[in-house]
Amino acid sequence: MKNARRRSFNNDFEADVFAGLNANPKHLNSKYFYDAQGDALFQKIMALSEYYLCAREFDIIEANKRKMAELFSAGGGFDLVEFGAGDGKKTKVLLRHLHARQVDFKYCPVDISENAVQQLCDSLKQTLPDLRVEPHIGTYAQVLTKLADYRERKKLILFLGSNIGNFTLDAAVSFLQQIRASMGRDDRLLVGFDQKKHPQRILDAYRDKAGVTEAFNKNLLRRMNRELGAHFDPDTFVYWPVYQPEESVIKSYLVSKIAQQVYIEALDFKACFQPWESIHTENSQKFDDPSIRQLAQQAGLVVTEVFSDANSDYRNYIFRNSLVI
């Protein structure tokens, strides 16, 4: 089969699209949601009333910024490294507070989207012009290799937005283990976790009435059209999120409404779909305290602080490396 023999790709996007659309069942990595159009759509999602995650985490950081600042700045200056920084809306609350207290720190935002990083850096130049910013553009895996270089002074690593939920549980453990391996005795990791709650509230957060989340998912089809010369018609796909309480995970799909073959020029192959065949686009795992502590134990981390909103919809956990005394 011509498709299966292809081995040469110009970039990871081509390789991952080829692998995902040749798989059974089909899948695409959610990290490719984030181009300029995807970034703009996700900012709209974060402002939706149904999408409570952003607002709850913002509330937590706003309410606890003083205590967080005291914890992070105890013992001297530090490097603040944020994975998946995005537009930095929530982090800016902490950055402004640290800056006002004249804390010695450097901010290192990390994101796969060059557009998002550039917008964040431009915004910080306007609001905090003397803040030291050292951005990194790349995947988590690419930047993880650089994380160990930050050893001259302690570091605080942020992973907000419940992005940890986009991993499978095994992948989440592996990712946290890699972060933990770079952490010294005084380093800390702050992670946001969306909590288990009524299934309808969770499902509504990924199936908003305005259809923004649908557009966000279908932008992945449009991105393949723009960058790979694909010929997807987004109207022939239906966006379908499903919440599975037993696994405590939202799974999102794009489902082909018709039998179709979609030619992708950059890959020189046709992706073939049966009627109602799906592309799995994203997981969003939900957690409770026991599952978070078990995850930490498997990764070699230990919980030192927990911050919650008033209704325990969302929590931020601070971890230290349990393997370093």
Q: 70-116: per-residue pLDDT in tens?
A: 999 888 899 999 999 888 899 999 999 999 999 999 999 998 889 98
Whether residue 73 contacts residue 98, with contact meaning beta carbons closer than 8 Å, is answered with yes
- Residue 86: give its domain's CATH number: 3.40.50.150
Burial of residue 182, with CB atoms counted within 10 A of its CB: 0-12 exposed, 13-18 middle, 19 or more buried: buried
Same domain, 221 and 307: no
Which tokens in the block code for residue 325?
């005394």
Residue 1 pLDDT more than 50? no
Residue 226 corresponds to which tokens in the numbers above?
């723009």
Q: How many domains does the chain have?
A: 2
Report yes or no on 202 lying in a domain.
no
Percent of the chain with pLDDT over 90: 86
Residues whose CB falls within 8 Å of the CB of residue 175, separated by 6 or more in sequence, listed in order: 140, 144, 164, 167
Instruction: Output the average pLDDT for the chain.
Output: 94
Q: Are 178 and 255 part of one and the same domain?
A: no
**Residue 7 pLDDT class (50, 70, 90 cuts):** low
Distance CA 172, CA 159 (A): 12
CB distance 281 to 17 below 8 Å: no
Asked if residue 60 has pLDDT above 90, the reply is: yes
How many whole angstroms separate alpha carbon 130 and alpha carbon 109? 16
pLDDT at 6: 56
Evaluate whether residue 39 is within a structural domain. no
| Whether the predicted pLDDT of 143 surpasses 90 | no
Residues 19 and 155 in one domain: no
Same domain? 57 vs 130: yes
Q: Is the dihedral of CA 42, 310, 166, 182 positive or negative?
A: positive
pLDDT on residue 2:
46
Q: What's at 300, amino acid-wise? A: G
Tell me: do 182 and 313 sit in the same domain: yes
Asked whether the bond before 25 is cis by omega within 30 degrees of 0, the reply is: yes
Contact in structure between 315 and 193 (CB atoms under 8 Å): yes
Same domain assignment for residues 227 and 144: no
Full domain range(s) for residue 272: 2-31+207-285
**Average pLDDT score over residue span 112-134:** 93
Q: Do 26 and 98 lie in a common domain? A: no
Kindly report, residue by residue over 148-205, the tens digit of the pLDDT.
778 789 999 999 999 999 999 999 999 999 999 999 999 999 999 999 999 999 999 9
Tokens read off for 60 = 């937590």
pTM value? 0.92
Residue 12 lies in a domain: yes
**Mean pLDDT of all residues in 242-261:** 97
Instruction: Let me know whether 291 and 278 are in one domain.
Output: no
Together in a domain, 225 and 156: no
Both 307 and 158 in one domain: the answer is yes
Say if residue 67 is in the same domain as residue 134: yes
Same domain, 23 and 171: no
